Chain A
Amino acid sequence: QKEVEQDPGPLSVPEGAIVSLNCTYSNSAFQYFMWYRQYSRKGPELLMYTYSSGNKEDGRFTAQVDKSSKYISLFIRDSQPSDSATYLCAGGRGSNYKLTFGKGTLLTVNP
């Protein structure tokens, strides 16, 4: 079993929809979780990071972590065509910031 599992999609939604992206993980040692957005042929850019179970909100984005079920989610409200990208979840531990990534979910928001 891979340490971080993520459904690769693709996921296609209409503009304005609420998008739910999900990952599961198996490594109990993960201390923090990140969501990255990656446009085609570009490096990932950090969207959200969380250290504990619960929700964290930033604008249209909400990150949710449930450590009891080892489940992490990213919700995008009022999705826009510019949100079309691959979304990567990652788990990390230690201060050296070594991350383990999921495969990424390709999202397309249709105008």
Chain B
Amino acid sequence: GAVVSQHPSWVICKSGTSVKIECRSLDFQATTMFWYRQFPKQSLMLMATSNEGSKATYEQGVEKDKFLINHASLTLSTLTVTSAHPEDSSFYICSATTGRTMNTEAFFGQGTRLTVV
């Protein structure tokens, strides 16, 4: 299957600082990327959907000013957690899809574990 790379795999940051997480599709062009958050023993919760070259669509309850998403190219999307707080500590996962009608597979990155201290 296609490869989606997420960086970093884990990050620890101080409360109040910002953290950027990158999601790259390595061998295909991703017209759509999704960002999820997963708390321990909980399901993946969709945070936002981003299409290359346009503003991200955020799910209800997700603060768009806190979780900045940029999808500037067909192979890269970034999620920036601004002014991070301990409650933002979670596992953040991206997925990417080509969006072609006959290909509805989305490929997931390996996830980024964020710990805010």
A binds B: yes
Q: Does A32 make an interface contact (CB < 8 A)?
A: yes
Complex CA–CA separation, A101 to B43 (angstroms):
6
In the complex, chain B residues 41-67 whose Cβ is within 8 Å of any chain A Cβ: 41-46, 49
Task: From the candidates A43, A49, A98, name the one contacting B46 in the complex (CB within 8 A).
Answer: A98
Q: Does B81 make an interface contact (CB < 8 A)?
A: no
A43 close to B109 (CB less than 8 A): yes
A46 close to B113 (CB less than 8 A): no
Chain B residues with CB under 8 Å of A36's CB are 108
- Size category of the B interface is 20 to 34
Binding-face segment, A13-21, A62-70, A73-81, A88-96: A88-96
- Label chain A's interface by main secondary structure: strand
Distance in angstroms from A1 CB to nearest chain B CB is 15
B111 close to A42 (CB less than 8 A): yes
Known A-B contacts: A43-B93, A99-B46, A104-B43. Give 11 more (CB < 8 A): A41-B113, A43-B111, A44-B93, A88-B43, A88-B44, A92-B104, A95-B101, A96-B97, A98-B49, A101-B44, A101-B45
Residues of A within 8 A of B (CB): 4, 6, 8, 32, 36, 41-46, 49, 88, 92, 95-104
Residues of B within 8 A of A (CB): 1, 4, 6, 32, 34, 41-46, 49, 91, 93, 95, 97, 99-101, 104-111, 113
CB<8 Å pairs between A and B, sample of 12 = A43-B6, A44-B108, A46-B1, A46-B107, A46-B108, A95-B99, A96-B32, A96-B49, A97-B99, A98-B49, A102-B43, A103-B41
